[in-house]
Amino acid sequence: MKPLQSLAEQAKRILAANAMGAWTKPAPRLYPHQWNWDSAFIALGLAHYNLERAKTEIRSLLRGQWRNGMIPHIIYNPDRLGYFPDPHVWQISRSPTAPRDVLTSGITQPPMITIAAREIVRREPSAGFAREIYPALLSYHRWFHRERDPHGDGLVSIIHPWESGMDNSPRWLEILQTIQLAARPAYKREDDVLVPASERPTDSDYDHFIFLMNLARDLNYDQREIVEHSPFVVQDVLLNSILYCADDSLRELAVMVGEPSQEIEGWMQSTRRAFQKKLWDDGDGMYYDFDIRGASLIKENTIAAFMPLYAGLADDARARRLVENHLLNPAEYAPDSSTRFRVPTASKTNAYFDPRNYWRGPIWMNANWFILHGLKRYGYSGLASQIREDTLALVERKGFHEYFDPRTGEGYGTDMFSWSAALVIDLVQNAA
Ligand code: 2M8
């Protein structure tokens, strides 16, 4: 068997080991429940060899959908509590729209589910699955555009760093530091026992995470109230890029099932306009998140800036500046004598860059996957295939870790990480 095929076979074994029946946990011990965007990446991998199982992964994620349309970021496994925060902390029954029979968190994550669903549907001979899931997906997208963009600005907001998927990214620090906590919230973490504390968010990060979580809970998950009162309301470049792609996927599904698509096209048009006007900084040649409370761009140089390439939201001139001045710049993201592997999740020039800590600099499989798709879209196919090869080599050498140190290529966080496995399968199948 060719080495890449055997890597894909190992990846399949990891997904099988993490499978919990109808859904897959992100990792054996650190993440024992179902996570929203993890399951979507997992479904993308499964779709290559077990379409039925990929559909089940999507269906099981829809189990947790709230009546207002939100798909939560965690669906809990009631038989395996012991992850912090557990359902008692979220208390979702405070919301009249939360499910009564499924335990979930009270916030969401980037809607990769629709992108994964489209990949599945493209492989299906009939429109049956598309017809089955379309109403639930439409209701999720309507929730985003209605509840998280109450003024019709064209960009939705996240109300918790966990919603970005990049929990402790340098992008959130300035806002978090402005939040004065009257007292430290009481809680007991479990994550920093399973993985060395130096590779996880700090206690101070967690104090703020819990504060924001309690705030949403105390407002009974009323989205308008949260968006109006929370100190953390951010138009995130990453989530808006993914939502734009997901809207595009939803539009494709609408056409396939014979439903009208004008509403979706309207969202896409406003997002395109707002993205260019509001999130681009021409001086730096970068896309940045917008802090609604502070009414300003969050000028942190991180990998999120390249997400508009994945979404196709940058014009050619901006794409060129992003790639040539930043991605290929050895002082920022390209390899140099200090970092031999790519792509670090924060620029080496970022004051908070930390090559071993979670979303502050390590290489993540999904981030590289987004980047190489973005590069292909803008014609940088040579660079895209190089990143694909480097990414696969990293896993081949060190295993299916959660993240990797860009200086040494060493793997950190949890091992047997499901989305690393799923995206390896996708990368092996789809030669760049
Ligand atoms: C990480 O997030 C969770 C909280 O949701 C955690 O730190 O415990 C993030 O990397 C997130 O993107 C991911 O979905 C989750 C599970 O892999 O872990």
* Residue 74 Cα to ligand 1 middle (Å): 9
- For 191-210, the pLDDT digits (tens) are 998 999 999 999 999 999 99
pLDDT value, residue 196: 93
Out of 29, 35, 365, mutate this one to test ligand 1's pocket (max ligand atoms within 8 Å of CB): namely 35
2 pLDDT band, cuts 50/70/90, is confident
* Residue 11 Cα to ligand 1 middle (Å): 20
- For 48-90, the pLDDT digits (tens) are 999 999 999 999 999 999 999 999 999 999 998 789 999 999 9
HEC string of the chain equals: CCHHHHHHHHHHHHHHHHECCCCECCCCCCCCCEEHHHHHHHHHHHCCCCHHHHHHHHHHHHCCCCCCCCCCCEECCCCCCCCCCCHHHHCHHHCCCCCCCCCECCCCCCCHHHHHHHHHHHCCCCCHHHHHHHHHHHHHHHHHHHHCCCCCCCCCCECCHHHHCCCCCHHHHHHHHHCCCCCCCCCCCCHHHHCCHHHCCCHHHHHHHHHHHHHHHHCCCCHHHHHHHCCCCEECHHHHHHHHHHHHHHHHHHHHHCCCCHHHHHHHHHHHHHHHHHCEECCCCEECEEECCCCEEECCCEHHHHHHHHHCCCCHHHHHHHHHHHHCCCCCCCCCCCCCCCCCCECCCCCCCCCCCHHHCCECHHHHHHHHHHHHHCCCHHHHHHHHHHHHHHHHHHCCCCEECCCCCCEECCCCCHHHHHHHHHHHHCCC
Name which residue sits closest to atom 13 of ligand 1, judged by CA. Answer: 165
In ligand 1, which atom is closest to the CA atom of 201? 7
Mean pLDDT of 177-186: 91
Out of 24, 31, 417, mutate this one to test ligand 1's pocket (max ligand atoms within 8 Å of CB): namely 31
* Residue 30 Cα to ligand 1 middle (Å): 10
Is the CB–ligand 1 distance for residue 167 below 6 Å?
yes
* Residue 227 Cα to ligand 1 middle (Å): 22
Residue 432 has pLDDT above 90, yes or no: no
Name which residue sits closest to atom 11 of ligand 1, judged by CA. Answer: 165
Is the CB–ligand 1 distance for residue 31 below 6 Å?
yes
Is the CB–ligand 1 distance for residue 165 below 6 Å?
yes
In ligand 1, which atom is closest to the CA atom of 37? 14
**pTM of the predicted model, to two decimals?**
0.98
Residue 1 has pLDDT above 80, yes or no: no
pLDDT value, residue 362: 98
Is the CB–ligand 1 distance for residue 37 below 6 Å?
yes
Is the CB–ligand 1 distance for residue 38 below 6 Å?
yes
- For 285-339, the pLDDT digits (tens) are 999 999 999 999 999 999 999 999 999 999 999 999 999 999 999 999 999 999 9
* Residue 89 Cα to ligand 1 middle (Å): 17
Name which residue sits closest to atom 12 of ligand 1, judged by CA. Answer: 165
In ligand 1, which atom is closest to the CA atom of 74? 5
Average pLDDT, the chain: 97
* Residue 254 Cα to ligand 1 middle (Å): 31
The catalytic residues are: 167, 402
